Amino acid sequence: MINPVLVEVTRGGLVESRHRGAVAIIDADGAVVQSIGDIERPVFPRSAIKALQALPLVESGAADKFSLSDREIALACSSHAAEPGHIATVNSMLAKIGLDYSALECGCHRPTNEKASLAIAEQRQSPLASHNNCSGKHAGFLCLACYMGVDHAGYIRRDHAVQREVHGALEAMTGAAHGEDICGTDGCSIPTYAVPLKSMALGFAKFATGIGLEPVRAKASKRIFKACVENPWYVAGTDRAGTRIMEAGKGRVLVKTGAEGVYCAAIPELGLGVAIKCDDGTTRAAETIVATVIANLLPKSDAEGEAIRAIGHQTLKNRNNINVGEVRATNNLC
Amino acid sequence: MINPVLVEVTRGGLVESRHRGAVAIIDADGAVVQSIGDIERPVFPRSAIKALQALPLVESGAADKFSLSDREIALACSSHAAEPGHIATVNSMLAKIGLDYSALECGCHRPTNEKASLAIAEQRQSPLASHNNCSGKHAGFLCLACYMGVDHAGYIRRDHAVQREVHGALEAMTGAAHGEDICGTDGCSIPTYAVPLKSMALGFAKFATGIGLEPVRAKASKRIFKACVENPWYVAGTDRAGTRIMEAGKGRVLVKTGAEGVYCAAIPELGLGVAIKCDDGTTRAAETIVATVIANLLPKSDAEGEAIRAIGHQTLKNRNNINVGEVRATNNLC
């Protein structure tokens, strides 16, 4: 199956580039509420499932034991932009378990937020592991390791107790086998497992509703959802699409991006989970797809829905701030 | 027509993302030597045709009048990375006509070369118009305006004498009408015209061979070709694919990238022009496509060809420098 063109990028009235993709909208019983394109093909969720990867941290009792705040839980589900508030929160999480950034095994990269990147350049500082967009998740892994009383060294390895817990939560939530044959290494060096979009969406439908989950997991899901939607800046950062969509949604929608054009979303009031993948891995298109899909799902003329739809319609400006085109959803998404 | 998948991005043995595209390989008589996908659909060439846009600068006599060096001519064809050597060369071109960066109308952006960007941040400097990747081309436009004795202000406008010269050269080289209906505004604010890939490739076949051109234009084409292939760093920058391909080609191949996944190439020894577009506008895929296409065109076991092919096969490393996947050509390109 060839996925349809879901997003067009225009210039001067013509279409300049085209993005294909697939969309799965699933309820907590696994029913396909809507699908576009191939939702059976394995997709690496990358960071889009961080909210599910954080379940063991909360349901184990680790989050309570170390008195993690909602902002810290949101950061454990984040791909943050390494703005000062993100870094302070990572450091605070690590301090609660007596560790610092040197325990993080995610590797270093420059802050994705340009202002933050330039600020450390002006100070002639090199980026630390805490600047890695995944450092909040990794701080959560370290909290879990400490709580479990295991050596935290090597917590990124597939056979480490922490990753085994995460693996179990992912299999249970998505209902998909997470075998070695579908395992790749993520940007931050933890395992990532390619599963069908419909399985990812199912995981987020169960997460959104608690349906079919043990009470402790249902409670943890609710707590993580609340932590993220009430602190969207901690899940992404300034002017990021995920932050803007969650802010516009006013607590009704959790969205999370993953590298290579993936987004997942949970919409409790509709009992639905959403997973999307842009075939070519492009962020701009994934943003337009997820915003449009969510807006379409919410009731007609819903103010939050229309605000979210607007985020998906992007104006392109050039170096002289002239409007030169747009990124827009095609009719295949409407 | 749906263009085929030309590039795959893998992770852990699975395909994570896919890029579709089209390829036109044309000789100077306009014969289609090879095509993949839709080569009739209008494509904005963006910066991929800077070598053709530089023809009026050279054939008018402006380049001689202002004693432009080969490096300066290469820079007039460049999308440079704003490394110190690029900026010095822009400034030298502007000084030859008694102007400075304030005459550039391309707008500002941070250097695309990270080291260069961080270096100006460390100095707490803001980027200037000279840091714009198109500033070499714009310096060439200013040289042409001065040579023509016209007011250079507004040289980016479609109706300015400079852009009319460029427009005439593009129509003549590609054989395609460049009407208002296919005109968009480029990142640097000059007009860009969407024409079929086969027309772009024809333009580069004529540029590569001089066939069908007036002697003065044929001579200018040869001079621009030589200036670029002998100074590939001035056409792009450190570690850029275009630079690496031209270096590997040892003077046999000119390649130039354009935004949104376009590449053009000229191969005089084969009498061919090449134009490629990745449907979704992604640079990594366009690089793999153009490198593979050029390698396929060169004789079997050609050392330069195989060096160019290797540039198109990219290994992906994560934040801990672990190999996590690759960007590779599909069988549709082989």
Distances (CA, A) of B167 to A11, B135, B159, B179, B244: 18, 19, 10, 10, 30
Instruction: Tell me the chain A residues in contact with residue B320 when contact means C-beta distances shorter than 8 Å.
Output: 105-107, 189
* Residue B260 to residue A108, Cβ atoms within 8 A: no
The token duo for A168 is 């179990």
CA angle A325, A326, A327 (to 5 degrees): 145
Q: Is the pLDDT of residue B216 over 90?
A: yes
Q: What does the pLDDT average to over B26-35?
A: 98
Mean of per-residue pLDDT scores for chain B: 98
Q: What is the mean pLDDT of chain A?
A: 98
Of B324, B314, B318, residue with least CA distance to B285: B314
Whether pTM exceeds 0.90: yes
pLDDT digits (tens, 9 = 90+) for A290-301: 999 999 999 988
Name A141's Cβ contacts closer than 8 Å, sequence gap at least 6: A57, A152, A155, A156, A162, A166, A190
Beta bridge partners of B195: B43
Over range A111-135, report the average pLDDT: 96
Which residues, including other chains, have CB under 8 Å from residue A159's CB and lie 6 or more apart? none
Cβ–Cβ gap B281/A17 under 8 Å: yes
Nearest residue in A to B129, CA atom = A319
Answer whether B162's CB lies under 8 Å from B189's CB.
no
Report the percent of chain A where pLDDT is more than 90.
99
CB-based contact A19 B122, cutoff 8 Å: no
CA distances from B109 to B81, B91, B129, B134 (A): 11, 17, 7, 10
Q: What whole-number percentage of chain B has pLDDT above 90? A: 99
pLDDT at B300: 87
- pLDDT at position B245, please? 98
Averaged pLDDT, A222-239:
98
**Of A239, A235, A234, A232, which Cα lies nearest the Cα of A114?**
A239
Picking from A18, A122, A324, the nearest residue to B280 by CB comes out as A18
Distance to chain B for A5, nearest Cα, Å:
10
Average pLDDT over residues B37-54: 98
Report the alpha-carbon distance of residue B44 to residue B184 in Å, rounded: 8
Give residue-wise pLDDT tens across range B251-296: 999 999 999 999 999 999 999 999 999 999 999 999 999 999 999 9
CB–CB contact B185 A11 (8 Å): yes
- Which residue intervals of chain B are DSSP H helices? 50-53, 55-59, 62-65, 70-76, 84-96, 114-122, 135-148, 161-174, 197-209, 215-230, 232-235, 241-249, 283-297, 303-312
User: A186: buried, middle or exposed (CB in 10 Å: 19+, 13-18, 0-12)?
Assistant: buried
How far is it, in rounded angstroms, from Cα A164 to Cα A108?
Answer: 24
CA A254 to CA A94: how far, in whole Å? 25
Q: At what angle do helices A135-148 and A161-174 cross, to 10 degrees?
A: 110
pLDDT band at residue A213 under the 50/70/90 scheme = very high
Tell me which chain B residues have a C-beta less than 8 angstroms from the C-beta of A321: 107
Distance CA B118, CA B12 (A): 33
Give me B265's structure tokens.
Answer: 């190439």
For residue A158, give the 3-state DSSP assignment: coil
Q: Residue A179 is encoded by which pair of tokens?
A: 């075998």
> Across the interface, do A194 and B14 touch by the CB < 8 Å criterion?
yes
Q: Is B334 a residue whose pLDDT tops 90?
A: no
Helix or strand holding residue B21 (H, E): strand B14-27
Cβ-defined contact of B11 to A44 (cutoff 8 Å): yes
The number of beta carbons lying within 10 Å of the beta carbon of residue A249 is 24
Residues in A closer than 8 angstroms to B283, CB to CB, are none
Q: Is ipTM strictly over 0.85?
A: yes
- Cross-chain CB nearest to B121 (options A13, A18, A121): A121
Contact A44 B9 (CB under 8 A): no
Of B11, B20, B184, Cβ closest to residue A325: B184
Nearest to A286 by CA among A302, A264, A266: A264
Q: What is the pLDDT of residues A59-90, one digit of tens each?
A: 999 999 999 999 999 999 999 999 999 999 99
Q: In which element (H, E) is residue A71 found?
A: helix A70-76
Nearest C-alpha in A relative to B105? A320
